[in-house]
């Protein structure tokens, strides 16, 4: 009798564990969490940043340089810095610039960057400003290049001083992995500059 009671208790414990496991396997998370952590459909986990930036200054995301300037504008998509800059993990990265009312009309975004390319794959970068495409650049080789994008005043007219920049790569190249994370790398950014168009 005692043995049967103990057995019933063990069965009850097992059932309770199954119920708890089933409950724990469900999720109640936001879309951004789901896309980044669970579905892995994006490498961009957005975070709130002030976007503090003085027009005409160069932001250098290299390790060893002051982190504050880049952290203030980095919304998502970039890895921890290395001496050469910061890698875009996946195919999308976002930056935010908060501009005061005195900012001039047309602006230029200038990037020093190099892309992950292979002999059979040329990488393409498309830049969006507040959701509007402002330019496409093709990288033919692995060398660093300075690329510029003209951002018309109209692109930020409706955003009341906020300029959200999205960098989108065509796709991840198929490369032999040489280290941790390297399969996810697409673009290495060495510096960022935003200023008035000449």
Partner 1 sequence: MRLWAVLALFAACSLLLKFAVFVYMTGDLSPLAFADRICLWDCRWFGKVAQGYEVGLPTNRNGEANWAFFPLYPLLVKAVAMLTMLPWTAAGVLVSQVLGILAAGCARPLFGSQTRAYWLFAFGALLGPFSLLFSMPYSESLFILLTILVLVQLQRGDYLRAGAWAALLSATRVTGVLIGAAIVLQAIIDYRRAGGAWRDLPRSFLSDNRLLLGLALVPLGLLGYMVYLRLWMGDGLAFAHVQVAWGRALDNPFIQFGIALHSGWPFKAHWDPFSTYAVGGLVAVVLTTLVALRGHYAAALFCFIALVLSFSAGLFSSVRFAAGLAPLGLVSAELIARRRWLSWSAYPIGLALGLLVVAGWISGRDFTMV
Q: Which residues bind partner 1 (CB under 8 A)?
A: 3, 6-7, 10, 13-14, 17, 20-21, 23-30, 32-33, 36-38, 40, 45-48, 74, 76, 78-80, 89, 176-181, 184
Q: How far is the CB of 179 from partner 1 (least distance, A)?
A: 7
Using an 8 Å Cβ cutoff, are 70 and 86 in contact? yes
Nearer to partner 1, 40 or 142 (CB): 40
Q: Which residues make Cβ contacts (< 8 Å) with residue 173, sequence separation at least 6?
A: 116, 117, 118, 121, 123, 186
Nearer to partner 1, 76 or 192 (CB): 76
Nearer to partner 1, 28 or 198 (CB): 28
Q: How far is the CB of 42 from partner 1 (least distance, A)?
A: 10
Q: How far is the CB of 166 from partner 1 (least distance, A)?
A: 16
Please give the C-alpha separations between residue 111 and each of 108, 186, 189, in angstroms, as whole numbers: 10, 15, 7
Nearer to partner 1, 62 or 124 (CB): 62
Kindly tell me the burial class for residue 147, based on how many C-beta atoms sit within 10 Å of its own C-beta (0-12, 13-18, 19 or more).
middle
Residues 124, 76: Cα–Cα separation, whole Å:
19
């Amino acid at each position: 009798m005692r043995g049967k009671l103990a057995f019933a208790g063990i069965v009850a414990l097992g059932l309770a564990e199954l119920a708890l496991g089933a409950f724990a396997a469900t999720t109640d998370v936001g879309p951004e969490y789901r896309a980044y952590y669970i579905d892995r459909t994006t490498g961009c986990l957005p975070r709130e940043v002030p976007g503090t930036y003085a027009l005409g200054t160069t932001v250098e995301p290299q390790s060893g340089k002051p982190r504050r300037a880049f952290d203030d504008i980095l919304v998502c998509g970039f890895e921890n810095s290395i001496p050469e800059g910061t890698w875009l993990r996946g195919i999308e990265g976002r930056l935010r610039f908060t501009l005061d009312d005195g900012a001039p009309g047309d602006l230029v975004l200038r990037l020093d960057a190099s892309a992950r390319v292979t002999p059979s794959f040329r990488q393409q970068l498309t830049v969006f400003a507040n959701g509007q495409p402002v330019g496409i650049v093709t990288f033919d080789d692995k060398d660093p290049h300075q690329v510029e994008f003209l951002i018309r005043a109209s692109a930020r007219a409706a955003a009341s001083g906020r300029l959200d920049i999205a960098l989108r790569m065509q796709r991840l190249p198929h490369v032999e992995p040489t280290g941790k994370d390297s399969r996810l790398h697409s673009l290495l950014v060495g510096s960022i500059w935003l200023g008035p168009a000449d």
